[in-house]
Chains A and B, each alone.
Chain A
Amino acid sequence: MADVRLEGVSKAFGTIQILRNIDLAIDHGEFAVFVGPSGSGKSTLLRMIGGLERISGGRLLIDNEVVNNVDAADRNLGMVFQSYALYPHMTVRENLAFPLRMAKAARAEIDTKVVETASLLQINHLLDRKPRQLSGGQRQRVAIGRAIVREPKVFLFDEPLSNLDTELRVQMRVQIAKLHRQLGNTMIYVTHDQVEAMTMADKIVVLKDGNIEQVGSPHDLYHNPASRFVAGFIGSPKMNFLNGHIEAAHEAGLDVKLDAGTTVSVPVQPDQLLVGKPITLGIRPDDFSPSSAVRKEIAIELDVDFVEHLGSVTYIYGNAGNETVVAKAPKAEPPRGLGKVRLAASPVDCHLFMANGKALRRLHAPANWG
């Protein structure tokens, strides 16, 4: 039962600044996911919360108590490591019992809790095996069990699924999400996989180069990315970016002339000062539709050079002028082969990013799911 608050937290290794001035609040019971490319500082941030890495500046509060100088052993947090980090010389039972032994729990209590945890994760039959006799997925479950057996205040997950194969990863993803619902604890989860972030998180924290790019719900990040970086990072396949410049500003938005030819009026917060400035227009591959469906559309002629059939959807890759574009093909009539395809998208679905990468606020973003 805990909330986690970071106030101006920073981390430096020698002269190298890893994290700068991080402000973040994670509420009790929330599932927060730190996501970002490698080197963004997400794992370091998690390790600082866990007490495995010293905090160079700022304050870290768990349950309103400053814990900057509290040892990892005394923070009462549970952590699952990417490498599982099971104790190889102990059986699964001993692995699960270890945190309780360290907390000096009574014998009988240890036995009950170990069995309870094992049943929760369906690993009862493995209790007397050593970690080397387990498969990757089983090890993962033991690692999770060891983190939850002591009922810590907060669970920390450091890329826990990246060593598993795709099928198992999806399975464990569901299991961790269910576990969160069952236990109701605060969880902080680090991943570089935006799909994991989107499917599990209550709150996604996008990190880049040691800074927080954006904090928000998966819905927020998908529909209202604060920057071109977040827009490109969240969503698969990636958002398309088309270059152009702003021709005019009016009450309903901005008129953008694309280098590819079309002029389109995008409903975003207008700003006279931007007229004449270069701009990047973003459209998600899923927002394209067959040409005639939408009025006031952005029409693009795509020179298709690759078609990817995924079964449920088909993506077409091609060029429009000098820009590379990915688009979801219309379900009714997927393209037969290469050649030219006319696609369109509604300006309502478009995003605009200024030269510095910041997004202009959209006027008609879809309402939140919640």
Chain B
Amino acid sequence: MRFRRSTATNLVLNLLVSLCALILAFPLVWIVTMSLKQQAEVMAWPPSFVFSPTLDNFRVLFDVAKAGATSYGTIKVDFLTPITNSVVIALGSVLVSLAVGVPAAYVLARRDIPFKEDIAFFILGFRFAPVFLVVIPLFSVFQTVGLYDTYLGMIWVYQVVTLPMMVWLSRSYIEDIPKDIEEAAAMDGARPFRVMLHIVLPLLKPGLIGASLLIFLLAWHNFALGLILSSTKAPVTVALLKLLNPGVQFYPVMAAGLVLTMIIPVILIVIGQRHLERGLTFGAVK
């Protein structure tokens, strides 16, 4: 049976969709154009949509030699270090979450252990608590044990954000693998470790790629943990805050920083889109 709509309904629906798209896209477009403008153009009223774009703001972010001199003042920024920090911390968090979370999820999905649901809920519980609840007590602990402002400490503490997500996502992916398949492998002579290696992991691969992407984004966007527990190893989200000056505000430079912060997840999403969709819808359709 074919489903038909009248032209008028179609028109209204399309208009609504366009409106939604416009509302969603506006801040993004605004930031991108801002990053390509001069300070004077940014402050102009009414705002101009026609201007000669410049990449100068991006140069300022990385140009340590000229110490961030612009036509309207000097700002000293080093944006390369925070980007490197963020990449290291986010990637490290994903890897640790994979290594710890997938085995944990497997046990929660398949084995009969006491208090299974309570443990699963406890892990998820970390997602309910505000991050500051963990951060403030950790601040002094980290300083005492020497984890403050280290990659190790950051990756460790980021697990509060990433691990529950990894455990819950991969648990549901594992539950979607028919148990018969694992039992068949056991009957075929495979010990639990080899069942995991040869059967479970290959079948989980698309789901895990999707979950890893999601978790990378979560880690990339985290702000509170980096703000309090790091200084030289601070992630890019914290560096953005530092672009706020006590004196003149360098809006176009800040916009350029934002664009750079967004572009890495965007590239990842474009590359991994197929897997991300699968990660989000895995298990929805048998």
Contacts and interface: CB of A to CB of B under 8 A. Distances in A.
A244 interface: no
A89 B203 contact: yes
Interface string A284-317: 0000000000000000000000000000000000
Interface stretch (A75-83, A256-264, A343-351): A75-83
B178 interface: yes
Nearest to A94: B198
B118 interface: no
A150 interface: yes
Contacts of B186: 51-52, 71-73
B189 interface: yes
A211 B186 CA distance: 28
Contacts of B194: 102
Given A85-B178, A87-B199, A88-B203, A98 B185 contact: yes
Nearest to B180: A85
A10 B189 CA distance: 25
B191 A81 contact: no
Given A73-B190, A102-B189, A81 B202 contact: no
A134 interface: no
B90 to A, nearest CB: 29
A160 interface: no
Nearest to B181: A85
B187 A72 contact: yes
Contacts of B183: 52, 72, 79, 81, 85
Contacts of A50: 187
A170 interface: no
Interface string B173-184: 000001011011
A33 B202 CA distance: 35
Contacts of B189: 73-74, 76, 99, 102-103, 150
Contacts of B199: 87
A82 B187 CA distance: 14
A50 B190 CA distance: 14
B190 A102 contact: yes
- Most chain A Cβ neighbours within 10 Å, of B178, B187, B194: B187
A74 B189 CA distance: 6
Interface in B62-86: none
23 contacts: A50-B187, A51-B186, A52-B187, A73-B187, A73-B189, A79-B183, A79-B187, A81-B184, A82-B180, A85-B184, A87-B181, A87-B199, A88-B181, A88-B203, A98-B185, A98-B188, A98-B190, A98-B198, A102-B190, A102-B194, A146-B184, A150-B188, A150-B189
Interface of B: 178, 180-181, 183-191, 194, 198-199, 202-203
Interface of A: 50-52, 71-74, 76-79, 81-83, 85-89, 98-99, 102-103, 146-147, 150, 156
Given A52-B183, A86-B181, 15 more contacts: A52-B186, A52-B187, A71-B186, A73-B188, A73-B189, A74-B189, A77-B187, A79-B184, A85-B180, A85-B184, A87-B185, A98-B185, A102-B185, A150-B188, A156-B187
